Amino acid sequence: AMGKAVVATSVAAHGFEALPGEHFLKADGAGDFARAVVSLLGDAGERHRLGAAGRLLVEKRYSDGAMARSYERVYEELLEGDA
């Protein structure tokens, strides 16, 4: 969550709630990956936008506090099931 723009493959992004084009650029082939990186190198605004959106997502969904709240919900549901 360094606030940097990310280019990733579908496999690398699998399991995350990040959306291509909103939180990162998806590129599954070598040529597409290279083009995405070059496009970000030439577009500071897009780098900033993607980096900020990615950081916000990580802070909201994957920070220590967010993970703790998620575990709390799971434990509460388990305890309610025992009642």
16 DSSP assignment: S
Task: Tell me the C-alpha distance between 23 and 16, whole Å.
Answer: 10
Computed on alpha carbons and rounded to an integer, the radius of gyration of the chain in Å comes to: 17
Q: What is the pLDDT of residues 8-59, one digit of tens each?
A: 999 999 998 999 999 999 999 999 999 999 999 999 999 999 999 999 999 9
pLDDT confidence tier of residue 63, bands split at 50, 70 and 90: confident
pLDDT score for 67: 87
Determine if residue 63 is left, alpha or beta; phi over 0 gives left, psi from -120 to 50 gives alpha, anything else beta.
Answer: beta
**Nearest CA to 58 among 8, 15, 18?**
18
pLDDT score for 12: 95
**Nearest CA to 22 among 8, 35, 41?**
8
7 or 63, higher pLDDT = 7
pLDDT score for 70: 87
